[in-house]
Amino acid sequence: MNYLKTAILLAGMTALFMGIGALIGGQQGMLIALVIAAGMNLFSYWNSDKMVLSMHGAQEVDERVAPELFQIVRELSQRAGLPMPKVYLMDNPQPNAFATGRNPQNAAVAATTGLLQMLNRDEIAGVMAHELAHVKNHDTLTMTITATLAGAVSMLTNFGMMFGGNRNNNGIGMIGTIAMMILAPLAAMVVQMAISRTREYAADRMGSEISGKPLALASALNKIAGAAHAIPNEAAEANPATAHLFIINPLSGERMDNLFSTHPATENRIAELQKIAAEMGAMPGATSTPRVSGVTGPKARPRGPWG
């Protein structure tokens, strides 16, 4: 059912892209938009991991450079029945992480140095298990393609602003073009966020099953959410279309309505993880239940970024 929903959402995004092309250039514009959309899908399929990792300055590491992180990912991958993904570090003080790649055989997980400094081992494992759950569910490909198309829609509407107002036939005029510039990216963003919001809950649950410690993940989310509001992520601010890939929204914008949030509310995710912990019998060794109100979280002891 999740794959069907994703297929429908992606089809809707492509249709939206074609619709904007038709408004700007009629039938010819629609056909051009279809070709561009197909090209974007194909390009992002083969290059999504390289694109995103490069945007965030991620560097591949091995067991010598980041022994603890590498060992955690290896152990969790074995538990999840996944091939060992490539492991990357981002020199970024904001604690956060994401996964990318077109399939489990070509996957990568990336963590910031801030994540390794602020979280303890169980919490890091919870975060990495969440990202591996995205890989196992094939979420990374879907979310990257959607982000690519959403960015392309915004680009196309900019062309509409330049050329749409000068059309005499089959055009929508300057007023219509301006309205399209506002509404089309908004519609694309809603589709993108709808995918992300449903996927995060599923990855939280599967990640909890992989790590066996849902409360450790809850504690990690609590700490990351609190720090994300205080520590800017310049790479994410420069590439906001990738924000939904992260475990917690890395952008520093003001609090928005849930409909326009790239992630479910952290408080809601923590509450769900607490329910999962109860279902699992709160397995021994799990981190104690974090405070939910305020999403501030206690500070972890200082840690070296390389494990």
Active site residue 131: yes
| Residues making up the chain, counted from first to last | 307
Spell out the residues 6+ positions from residue 91 whose beta carbon is closer than 8 angstroms to its own: 57, 59, 112, 113
DSSP-assigned beta bridge partners for residue 99 = 109
Catalytic residue (choose from 63, 68, 131, 234): 131
DSSP conformational letter for 243:
G
The structure tokens listed for 292 are: 């939910």
d(CA 206, CA 122): 16
Residue ranges with strand state E in 41-162: 59-61, 86-90, 97-101, 107-112
| Amino acid at residue number 51 | M
**DSSP codes, 66-80:** SHHHHHHHHHHHHHH
What is the Cα 198 distance to its own chain's centre? 12
Beta-carbon-side half-sphere exposure of residue 155 (alpha carbons within 13 Å): 11
Residue 95 region by backbone torsions, left for phi larger than 0, else alpha for psi between -120 and 50, else beta: beta
Helix (H, G, I), strand (E, B) or coil at 99: strand
Cβ neighbours of 50 (radius 10 Å): 12
Q: Do 146 and 172 contact (CB within 8 A), yes or no?
A: no
| Distance separating alpha carbons of residues 92 and 46, to the nearest angstrom | 26
Instruction: Return the half-sphere exposure (C-beta side, CA atoms, 13 A cut-off) of residue 221.
Output: 37
Active-site annotation, residues: 131
